[in-house]
Amino acid sequence: MTEAVQARAAQLFTAFEKRLDHDRAELIANGDTAAGRAGGPDFDAVRFIAHRIVGSARMFGCEDLAEPAGKVEGLVDAGADVSAIVQAVNELAERIELTLSKGLGSPDWNGFPS
Amino acid sequence: MRARESICQRPGRRPQPEQAATPMRSVVVLDKPEGFDQTSLLLGGLGFNVVPLLDTGSAKGCRVALINPDCDPELEICASLSKICKVLLTTNKRDFSFKIQAVHQGAQGLLSRPLNAVEVFASLEETRKSDMPEARVLIVDDDELTAAVYAMALEECSVRVAVITNPLLAEKAIAEFRPDLVIMDIDMPQASGLDVARAIRLDPQFTSLPILFLSSVSRKEVQEEAREIGGDDFIRKPVDIGYLVKMVRMRAARAVELRQIMARDGLTGLSNHVSFKEALTTELNRSARAQSEFTVALLDLDRFKSINDTYGHQVGDTVIQTFATLLKSSLRNVDVIGRYGGEEFAVILLNANTEQAEATMDRIRQEFERIEFLASDQVFHVTFSCGLAGSKDERGGEALLALADTALYEAKAGGRNCIRTYLPGCGSEF
């Protein structure tokens, strides 16, 4: 990797870290309120965040988030029981917090042109 | 007839310093002494730096090696050189077992002996094209961070990339960026990537635009649906960067090849009328932004109809091919050369004012009139007339071409075999 690419990669990692922190807050805020909406539960925002984590976690060195995020997405898509979804959302938020406290791992950019 | 090899008879022009320093312009040759001299004269005349193969070190920096199999019967040298450059065998052997041996030993082409300028130059041009794929890829993904990583990886491979995070802007982005391939996420909040692809396909001009879907959706029916609507492949998220780069480069390269075939004139390999005009529009916009200038030249072979009538269309085609080869070898890589119509050609000389362009065109004019064509045991020469117009004279492509055409008319009226430049505000304007 050239120095320019390394610098750009570092910027992207910082941006991802910030977004993940924001995602965690959104999951906590949305999880419970989505479950208790007047017109019925609406987990669209939660699903969107979870789906995005599934697609990006490995690339930014936190592959361990892909599994709990995939679980949230799967439960929402399957129209699972609200309490099960809320529990999965909370688990995901906790895993994110743990990941952020440890710091992101090495990215999986296998095959990135050198 | 010997029209093609007649280019060999031109005195070998010394390569310009800029060209000699470029590896693309260096060709290493393994041949008998008379064969080397002939090749040296032929390619030297086209501006190539020709070096004899003394050992593997002499091929360093060369992109192409020409090997006479009589000097390398087992093709061992061919095999060794094929690891560092493109190897073309100069031979008239065409039996299939020889071809199999040749490709097994790494040869990438066969050139008939005696070599002719058009064929050799076409082979060297192919090498240049494959070195510069100029692929353009549009990424449609609502996750701007992962899209940025894909873009960075592709840009490292010299692919031009544009990213949009809102799929509703895809049509506009495709119209403006003209990608050779689209990478499309499927699950996006604004619209499904499958629907976006279907909507793109509604426009007939984009029915064959390759689309590569990315998704973390593992359901088979979604993947099948993606393929049904003409998705060229389906890559699962999380994406393996190396795999993505390989897939995109492979598919984009094919798309670029197709684009080039469609944009080129079949007889000469030059830009065709449509792509030349597109290039002219691009250059007008670029020169306006960069405040640089360029010159447009329209060239027309003199009395070409009588060549066709006297010697036949095959001879006429050879004259056209030879002229195209001369233009390609005489102009810089950055200049745009097009076959504008039958025997009419057009050139965009970048960063050149009309005085500089006139000097260049006059040098080519003198070289061309010296070329001997032979048909029906008769030697004949062909000339061309040229009209020039500078980008400072007009801001529109059509208007600029019209000025060059007016100047070309003056050149024809002035006795042919000459260059005329449109000069605004000079009474007759010439």
Q: What residue spans define the domains of chain A?
A: 3-34+42-104
In total, the C-beta contacts within 8 angstroms joining chain A to chain B are 65
Q: pTM, whole model, 2 decimals?
A: 0.61
Per residue, the 3-state secondary structure of A57-71, as one string, reads: CHHHCCHHHHHHHHH
Whole-number percent of chain B with pLDDT over 90: 47
Alpha-carbon separation of residue B248 from B155, B175, B222, B251, B256 (angstroms): 12, 20, 21, 5, 12
Query: For B255-282, how does the pLDDT look when each residue is reduced to its tens digit (9 = 90+)?
Result: 887 777 788 888 888 999 999 998 999 8
Q: Which residue of A has its CA nearest to B190?
A: A48
Q: How far apart are CA A7 and CA B336, in angstroms?
A: 37
Chain B residue numbers with beta carbons less than 8 Å from the beta carbon of A53 are none
pLDDT in tens, A42-86: 788 899 999 999 999 988 988 899 999 999 999 998 988 888 999
Given a contact cutoff of 8 angstroms between Cβ atoms, the answer to whether B153 and A113 are in contact is: yes
- Lowest pLDDT segment from A68-77, A82-91, B116-125: B116-125
Q: What residues contact A2, with CB distance under 8 A and at least 6 apart?
A: B156
Mean pLDDT taken over chain B: 84
Q: Is B191 on the interface with A (CB under 8 A)?
A: no
SS3 of residue B124 by DSSP: helix
pLDDT at B130 over 50: no
CB B19 within 8 A of CB B25: yes
Model pLDDT, residue B47 = 65
Q: What is the model's pLDDT at position B417?
A: 96
Q: Which residues of A touch B189 (CB under 8 A)?
A: 48
Task: Tell me the pLDDT tens digit for each residue of B22-42.
Answer: 445 688 999 999 999 888 877
Average pLDDT over residues B226-237: 78
Confidence at B14, pLDDT banded by 50, 70, 90: very low
| Residue B133 scores a pLDDT above 60 | no
pLDDT attached to residue B127: 54
- Report the residue of chain A nearest B142, measured CA to CA: A52
CA-based end-to-end distance of chain B:
40
Greater confidence (B57 vs A114) lies with B57
Q: Which of B145, B152, B156 is facing A56, going by the closest CB pair?
A: B145
Query: What is the per-residue pLDDT across B56-108, written as a single tens digit (0 to 9) for each?
Result: 777 777 888 999 999 999 999 999 999 988 899 999 999 999 999 999 999 99
Token reading at A72: 């949230």
Rounded Cα gap, residues B289 and B410, in angstroms: 32
Average pLDDT over residues B102-115: 90
**Residue B218's pLDDT is what?**
67
Answer whether A112 sits within 8 Å of B148, measured CB to CB: no
Q: Could you give the CA distance from residue B19 to residue B23 in angstroms, rounded to a whole number?
A: 8
Please list, residue by residue across B135-151, b when 16 or more beta carbons sit within 10 angstroms of its beta carbon and e when fewer do. bbbbbbbbbebbbbbbb
Catalogue the E-assigned strands of B69-199. 86-90, 109-111, 136-140, 160-164, 181-185
Whether residue A60 contacts residue A16, with contact meaning beta carbons closer than 8 Å, is answered with yes
DSSP per-residue string spanning B343-386: TEEEEEEET--HHHHHHHHHHHHHHHHH--EEETTEEE---EEE
Number of alpha carbons in the 13 Å side-chain half-sphere of residue B278? 9
Q: What is the pLDDT of residue B352?
A: 94
Range in B104-108, B156-160, B348-352 the model is least confident about: B156-160
DSSP run (H or E) holding B212? strand B211-215
pLDDT reported for residue B60: 79
| Beta carbons of B266 and B274 less than 8 angstroms apart | no
Partners of A54 on chain B (C-beta within 8 Å) are 216, 237-238
Q: What is the SS3 string spanning A71-84? A: HHHHHHHCCCCHHH
Say whether residue B239 is in contact with chain A using an 8 A CB cutoff.
yes
Residue of B189, B216, B245 lying closest to A48 (CB–CB) = B189
- Strands B49-52, B419-421: pairing kind: unpaired
The CATH fold of domain A3-34+42-104: Four Helix Bundle (Hemerythrin (Met), subunit A) (1.20.120)
Residues of B in contact with A110 (CB under 8 A): 240-242
Indicate the residue of B145, B243, B245 with minimum beta-carbon distance to A12.
B145
Element (H, E) at B49: strand B49-52
Interface of A with B (CB under 8 A): 2, 5, 8-9, 12, 15-16, 19, 48, 51-52, 54-60, 63, 66, 70, 108-113
Contact at CB, A111 and B242, closer than 8 angstroms: yes
> What angle in degrees, to the nearest 10, is found between the helix axes of B144-155 and A3-35?
160
Question: Is the CB of residue B417 less than 8 Å from the CB of residue B365?
Answer: yes
B174/B26: higher pLDDT: B174
Q: Which residues of A touch B239 (CB under 8 A)?
A: 59
Instruction: Please give the Cα distance from B415 to B214 (Å, whole number).
Output: 63
Question: For position B11, what pLDDT does the model report?
Answer: 32
